Structure 1
Amino acid sequence: MRLSYLTDVTRKVSEGSLQQEVLDATDAAFGRLPDDLDRMAQLLAAPDSTMSARIAFLFGRADETTLNGVRRVIDRMRQVISRKISWSCTWSKRGQPDYYAYVFTNVDPMQAGQLFVYLDERYKLAEEDGLDNRYLTLAHEFSHLAAKTLDHAYAHDCFWTPGKPMGNCIRWSEHVSLTPYDPDRAVENADCYGYLMAATFRRTGAPCPTP
């Protein structure tokens, strides 16, 4: 895996509109992901009580069906990240103040020679509370690229409690689903994997609110 930055990113650093610290944090996050994904696969193979509680908290239940769904996504992420391809970070043309990053999933990551992560305005903010950190963001986006996960819910909407609704993707729609939290949808949800990785390996500025 090789991480590169396109000229629009490096230009922002030279202009002073993007801090070098952002690139350093991104390098560090990408550097940790391969080993963390391998370790996650081991933990999911025979989850202990802590991992079972974390899976139940993020995915609504920790039965074998749910675990198998989570394992499939992690295994797909491991397959893709092991490829000798270039991961290129480019700056978004959208300039959305409430976006962290995004990717396009209309290519087969096992066939593509280069994959792109589009960084956006919120990505360059300081990591203050451990919830919105760059490791979590990159794990989230990588789950999109590798396993075509979806954005059913973000942040605290991902955390299960009995009878809690799981909102739709509120950034693009004001509609919020009132149906019960659905573990089948949680297994598809990118932020659940971001939190799973960040909480398990403490890759946050402060502890994630997970078991």
Structure 2
Amino acid sequence: MIPLRDDIPSRRCPIVNMTLIFLNIFVFLWEMLLPQRVLESIIFKYGVVPYRFFSLNLLPHGILTLFTSMFLHGGWSHIIGNMLYLYIFGDNVEDAMGHFRYLVFYLLSGILAGLTQIFFNTNPYMPAIGASGAIAGVLGAYMRYFPLAKVLTMTFFVFFIDFIYIPAFLYIGLWFIMQISSGIFSLLINISGGIAWWAHIGGFVFGFILAKHFRRRRYWVYYY
């Protein structure tokens, strides 16, 4: 299922959300211009590598990677998927929080997602990169603020394509269940590399919890 848009219009221009999208795309295009060996070196240097957090050489570079890793992506599908979700769900969350609070929330969700991935890592030398953890936090906040919103979704069934509206709590809930099942499966069979499922899980859980404290007082939402 691919989300296309939701039915909640933005009340004001999502300046922070659009800036984050621009920065992610800009950094990715810069990555694409680099020789493969240089790119691999940058990913290892600025991605979250768990072993750094269990060594005595953590400060300051290791902690800094919790931030820098959020702006690196591993391929076209990675960046397009992440930015699509951020574009659809981020504007309304920024509306509900306000610009500055949303920026703090986004970065904090990404950092907590990175720490979750470190804790559940299956390969301490494998770097984790991407905005997925921070965006998972945005999804957690959206789930809390707008559970009854409708998400226009492109669905696939064998050779057929259909477009349907799905309640946000159902769409995001199914997404989260998939992250949980995949994360547990990755631990059971000790998969190293691929998708950082636990960053998604951690980002979503922390985002859902923190969203209560970041909402603007005068902003009315579908709250439960």
Superposed pair shares fold, TM > 0.5: no
Q: Which has the higher contact order (CA 8 A, sep 6+)?
A: 2
The structure with the largest helix share of the pair is 2
